[in-house]
Structure 1
Amino acid sequence: MKQHILLAATMTAMLAACGGGSDDNPAPVHQLFAQTNDSSNTVVRFVRNADGTLTPKGTVATGGRGTNGVNYFMGNIVAPDALTSNNSLIVSPDGTRLFVANAGDNTVSTFSITSSGDLSLLAVSPTGGVRPTSLAFSNGVLYVTHQQGAQELGAYRVGSDGKLTSLAQYTVAAQDALPTQVAVSPDGKFVVVNGFLKTVTPVTPLNMLLAYPINSDGTLGQPVSSKSAGVGPFGGRFGSGALAAAYIVTEAAGGTASSYSLSSTGSFSTLSGPIAVTGQQAPCWIALTPDNKFAYVGNGSGAVSLFSLDTTGKLTLVNTAVATETAVAGQASAFANDSWISPDGKYLYQDYAGDDKIVSYTIGPNGTLTKLGEQPANTVSKISLQGLTGT
């Protein structure tokens, strides 16, 4: 009997050492999020499976309102890319918060994300601006750009309850300048804003990048303005590691892409470009692989273009249409907009707003994309899908 008891105790100890107690610390659920931008806005949720495919997990209401596909930039008609932006929803660096811009009622929703993947709506906060469309988060402060107004950039302290408290509002290039993206530099020293239009009709790009120094309390100093190499900088992504100062930018109005280096003073210098995205129109969205080898550019004309990066951050166009989807009836383009790459660099997820779906791809060693599958977004307007981020 004593031998049996001893054996049982030994086996229990061995099982615990080999992970028998793993139920107490379940593996985190890897997810993908987008927003429908419907009138009653919702977050579309997917579980990211180990093979890169997606499993739908339903939708969660943001408690705010979207534009239901109404596109301010296009003259308030219903058209793809209604928010004309990058980063309309983002996950905090620690993976515990999801923020969503509700452009229809000028609010931002804050969710908590549990290790099991559940979303819990914490707060819906007014921004005090008009049409919030792009978000960035750093050190407890959320930065938000708006499509209209005299002060289109706001800084907000995020409370433990998820509520936003305004710290300050800032002027960008010009009133009603239509900024398309806000980002925080990897070193946490600057807030970068790009994508300005002096007027919407006619379209008059302001060819500049702005870098605001971040103060210790999260407020911002006077911006440093740098002239862009190409016309109409729209979306941008910083590199990582050795290329953390490299900023890769799409230039929608000029049909090009460029790369820049951000200095310690906040000024940008050109590394490469502008490089024409041959055969495509409206290169607006961009994603970089974690190893800094490849950049994927989403085009309004419906294709995803592939660029390679060298060790200095210079770009080379590899394939103008490494992936594409056929537009649905009534749409001129599948509209390849927001995209997101898994942290391990194995998979690219791509919104096709003109097809109301998200497509998953395997990233090959040379940057090629192999389609794994697709999932419908099921937006009300069938073209209002916006934003893409994950854990």
Structure 2
Amino acid sequence: MKLRLAAAATMSVFLAACGGSDNSKPTTTVAQLFAQTNDTNNAVVHFTRNQDGTLVAKGSVLTGGKGTNGVNYFMGNITAPDALTSNNSVIVSPDKSRLFVANAGDNSVTTFAIGATGDLTVQAVSPTGGVRPTSLAFSNGVLYVTHQQGAQELGAYRVGQDGKLTQIAQYVVANQDALPTQVAISPDGKFVVVNGFLKSVSPVTPLNMLLAYPINSDGSLGTPVSSASAGVGPFGGRFASGPLSSVFAVTEAAGGTASSYSFSSAGAFSVLGGPVTVTGQQAPCWISLTPDNHFAYAGNGSGAVSLFALDGTGKLSLVNAVAATETPVAGQTSAFANDSWISPDGKFLYQDYAGDDKIVAYSIGSNGSLAKLGEQPANTQSKISLQGLAGI
């Protein structure tokens, strides 16, 4: 069954089209990029980043866990791009010493140690006690994981020196089986932010809310603060940097829009600007921000990367709805621009195209424009199961 992206954007298209410190010293000295295949025998695809932004393949490393092999729970367990329906399924710890990967096929998380040359070593494969873990966030030795199903879809886990996860607690999100799409840590390290909720999967009914859970001293979470979203179907979000670190830019997949919010010290979100329509595109789900807060890039289920500008207050304006796009593989209606990552120097954007089974490297121009530098195949078994993107 193919994605129905040629039709007008509907509620069901919105999600279907759409992933601290552990007190260890940083060890990695070489620039790296990581994604996951989400194959049945899940693996990390690993690249070295050259100074000119191009990628060199280092091969793949098995996670020891299981992926879904492209089977998409939200789509009724068919094989379709964005099988994990999430942001942040692959993350690097802030000190760059560890890589965490969600294995949605067997409800586990793999902890890798990252060596000085970027080589990966499996430390542990830990069960989460939840169903279909898909999004990860890490702070102060605690990993926070959201799951696609269950009565308690958010979990907190202490990460040991051996990489094993020990559960601290599990928490209710909006309602049972709400399918959260992203978990993140606020820049001040005081809140866990979760978004992307449904009242029901069928019919698809977004709850249009953002939740912020205060983090207790032991890593456990307090009662969440709930804020209404500006647009329909908030999916992915990124906090800005430095003086704009309280700004949270969000894609709103069901409404085909993006908005920005101000995050208060009490955990509440208030609208700064939006919703801004992503003209001509459907299912904007993923978003990355440049470190200088000048630009945001939204990945769309309809296959394009859209460019936004941020002003000095954090408000978004659409600059180019199709800043980049690729041709889908045979049998797919969209190249499916999903997870992305921007280099810390702000010079390069790396983009997953799940519908084309590859990662593309772009240079970022002074006006935010994207120039393609090259591409690397993911070589997933299903040719559409590529997920997650994180780098150093």
Global fold match (TM > 0.5): yes
Cα shift readout 1:361-384 (whole Å, capped 9, x = no counterpart): 000000000000000000000000
Q: Which residue of 1 aligns with 2:9?
A: none
Q: Which residue of 1 aligns with 2:295?
A: 294
In the alignment, is the contact (CA less than 8 A) between 2:90 and 2:389 conserved in 1? yes
Q: Counterpart amino acid of 1:203?
A: V
- Give the whole-Å Cα distance in 2 for the aligned partners of 1:277 and 1:200: 24
- Give the whole-Å Cα distance in 1 for the aligned partners of 2:390 and 2:271: 28
Question: If you compute each CA radius of gyration, which structure gives the higher value, 1 or 2?
Answer: 1
Which SS does the other structure have where 1:62 is aligned? Answer: strand
Q: CA deviation at 1:327?
A: 1.3
Q: CA deviation at 1:115?
A: 1.4
Q: Which residue of 2 aligns with 1:83?
A: 84
- Give the whole-Å Cα distance in 2 for the aligned partners of 1:327 and 1:68: 18
What pairs with 1:236-315 in structure 2 (closer than 5 Å)? 236-315=237-316
Q: Which residue of 2 aligns with 1:371?
A: 372
Q: CA deviation at 1:178?
A: 0.2
Cα shift readout 1:46-102 (whole Å, capped 9, x = no counterpart): 000010000000000000000000000111000000000000010000000000000
Structure 1 gap ranges (5+): 1-25
- Give the whole-Å Cα distance in 1 for the aligned partners of 2:71 and 2:28: 40
Q: Which residue of 1 aligns with 2:165?
A: 164
Q: Which residue of 2 aligns with 1:21?
A: none
Cα RMSD after superposing both structures: 1.0
Q: Which residue of 2 aligns with 1:181?
A: 182
TM-score, normalised to structure 2, is: 0.93
- Give the whole-Å Cα distance in 2 for the aligned partners of 1:185 and 1:104: 28
Q: Which residue of 2 aligns with 1:13?
A: none
Structure 1 runs, 4 residues or longer, greater than 3 Å off: none
Q: Which residue of 1 aligns with 2:139?
A: 138
- Give the whole-Å Cα distance in 2 for the aligned partners of 1:359 and 1:89: 17
Q: Which residue of 2 aligns with 1:108?
A: 109
Q: Which residue of 2 aligns with 1:16?
A: none
Q: From the superposition, tell whether residues 84 and 311 of structure 1 become closer, same or farther in structure 2 (CA, over 3 Å).
A: same
Q: CA deviation at 1:205?
A: 0.3
1:48 maps to 2:49: yes
Q: CA deviation at 1:107?
A: 0.1
Which SS does the other structure have where 1:354 is aligned? Answer: helix
Q: From the superposition, tell whether residues 34 and 27 of structure 1 become closer, same or farther in structure 2 (CA, over 3 Å).
A: closer
In the alignment, is the contact (CA less than 8 A) between 2:28 and 2:115 conserved in 1? no
Q: Counterpart amino acid of 1:290?
A: P
Which SS does the other structure have where 2:339 is aligned? Answer: strand
In the alignment, is the contact (CA less than 8 A) between 2:132 and 2:149 conserved in 1? yes
Q: CA deviation at 1:28?
A: 1.1
Identity %: 80
Q: CA deviation at 1:27?
A: 8.1
1:345 maps to 2:343: no
Which SS does the other structure have where 1:242 is aligned? Answer: helix
Structure 2 gap ranges (5+): 1-26
Q: Counterpart amino acid of 2:91?
A: I
- Give the whole-Å Cα distance in 2 for the aligned partners of 1:338 and 1:246: 20
Q: Counterpart amino acid of 1:211?
A: A
Q: Counterpart amino acid of 1:121?
A: V
Cα shift readout 1:9-65 (whole Å, capped 9, x = no counterpart): xxxxxxxxxxxxxxxxx9811100000000000000000001000000000000000
Taking CA–CA contacts closer than 8 Å with sequence separation of 6 or more, which of the two structures ends up with the larger relative contact order? 2
TM-score, normalised to structure 1, is: 0.93
